Amino acid sequence: MNNKNHGFSLAWVLIIVVITSIVSALTTGVIVFNNNKIASKITYSDLAKDTSLNQFLEVYANIISEYYEDIDKDKLLEKAIAAMMNYLGDDYTTYLDDSATNELVESLSGEYQGIGVSINNSDKSISKVYEDTPASKVGIMEGDIIIGFNDLDVKEVSTTEIVKMIKNTKGPFTLKLMRGEEEMTVTLASEKILSPNVDAYLLPDSTTGYMAITAFSKTLNTQVAKALSKLEGSGMTNLIIDLRDNTGGYLDAAESVASQFLAKDKAIYSLSYKNEVTKYTDKTDEARTYDIIIILNGNSASASEILAAALKESYGAKIVGETSFGKGRVQQTMELEDGSMVKYTSARWLTPNGTCIDGTGIAPDYPISNEEVLDSEGNVVEIIDRQLQKAQSLLAGN
């Protein structure tokens, strides 16, 4: 083994490696928030004095220059970053490659490239067609089954692959569909579509509004505002907010939606950092006063829990259903220059009353589960929504 003492001069040369390969990547997306610092209370000068980091860079430099085979430096650093994330032992702290990053960013962007349908994984049938989209304009209907894409038979192709074909094809393409016993072909093209994160309507024969929120995307606040305007204009007197199976999204989306309901200066949540707690309150003049019931289940997590806790403790909403997931930690994302991302826990969040629900969740005021109807062989043939029924009953005064 050739053991070399590179000394101080090499350490400074290697700082250039930091700046060009690691540090510059890690500052992406946070530098504007930290006044040109790499991170809070850490500067380039601090890194130059960090003996542990210089030791890492010496190892890096020796591997790059002296390892007996060619090294892919990008892959090497990717593994190093991933190892740092893994070392922390936090389920929510992780490294995402460029593909996973793109999926996450798109899912929370509030818009997507597509034709405006939801497709069942099991049989590739269309489960929903959204209004004013390429699919609705060419007459695609719920229940249609996709059997062909251009000249390709996709009966044995996964739904995931079909979605990728639709998303990535530039210009018009054809879909071959089965509608009952009839085979038909439509020509259309994908386009940027607003992700439908809100489904809202008045429940039959009532003035009770129902609003299901599926994700806390960048456009959610606008979607909720439009939904509330429509419901209130139709005579809504109380509201059910359904957050079941909503695993969260952006923190500021939860804050903005809560602000549409809460009175000014009411607490929304607090963030607990290493040595301090910062409280966030409603800064808007907008508020509502009608009764609200929230429905949760075990998959309601993160931003869903923030909204539910804010409305329960600062508004007086009641919760029906099951105890929520219990994700009381907040992640910060940092996109790297190669298109990948690191996601790491930066704080715990607390409810307006100062409670941390991490690992315990939010218990419902009215615990109730849905009822499964089974056939003679034990297969689920129907699910009776007892949770929604209970929410309606409470708002009706029963």
Confidence of residue 39 (pLDDT cuts 50, 70, 90): low
- Residue 371 counted as domain residue: yes
Give the end of a domain, one of 56, 71, 86.
71
378 and 239 belong to one structural domain: yes
| pLDDT at residue number 3 | 44
Same domain, 165 and 251: no
Domain annotation covers residue 44: yes
> Considering the chain, what percentage of its residues have pLDDT values greater than 90?
56
Based on the structure, what is the number of domains in the chain? 3
Whether residues 162 and 282 share a domain: the answer is no
For residue 100, tell me if it sits in a domain.
Answer: no
Contact 339, 102 (CB under 8 A): yes
* Average pLDDT for the chain: 85
Distance of CA 359 to the CA centre of its chain: 19
In a domain, 65, yes or no: yes
Is 308 found in the same domain as 211?
yes
**Does residue 252 form part of some domain?**
yes
Confidence of residue 74 (pLDDT cuts 50, 70, 90): confident
Residues 18, 128 within the same domain: no
Distances (CA, A) of 355 to 48, 267, 309, 328, 344: 40, 13, 10, 9, 22
Pair 190, 231 in one domain: no
In a domain? residue 86: no
User: For the domain that residue 279 is a member of, what is the CATH number?
Assistant: 3.90.226.10
Q: What is the mean predicted confidence (pLDDT) over 102-130? A: 85
Of 179, 194, 209, which residue constitutes the final position of a domain? 194
Q: What is the pLDDT of residues 323-350, one digit of tens each?
A: 999 999 988 887 877 788 888 888 899 9
Residue indicated by tokens 């049989």: 123
DSSP 8-state assignment for residue 263 = P
380 found inside a domain: yes
Predicted confidence band of residue 82 (pLDDT cuts 50, 70, 90): confident
Say if residue 147 is in the same domain as residue 283. Answer: no
Range with lowest mean pLDDT among 165-169, 190-194, 213-217, 304-308? 190-194
Q: Examine the domain organization and report whether 204 and 190 are in the same domain.
A: no
Could you tell me which of 71, 124, 43, 29 has the C-alpha nearest to residue 341?
Answer: 29
Residues 223 and 353 in one domain: yes
Give me the mean pLDDT over the 240-252 stretch. 94
How much is the pLDDT for 38?
Answer: 55
Same domain, 338 and 385: yes
Considering the domain architecture, whether residues 269 and 380 belong to the same structural domain is answered as yes
Domain span at residue 26? 7-71
Together in a domain, 255 and 268: yes
Q: Does 311 reside within a domain?
A: yes
Q: Is the pLDDT of residue 216 over 70?
A: yes
- Answer with the one of 142, 164, 194 that is the final residue of a domain: 194
Residue 34 has pLDDT above 60, yes or no: no
pLDDT of residue 45: 80
Cα–Cα distances (Å) from 78 to 15, 54, 84, 98, in that order, read 18, 18, 10, 11
Above pLDDT 70, what percent of the chain?
90
Q: List the CATH number of the domain containing 144.
A: 2.30.42.10
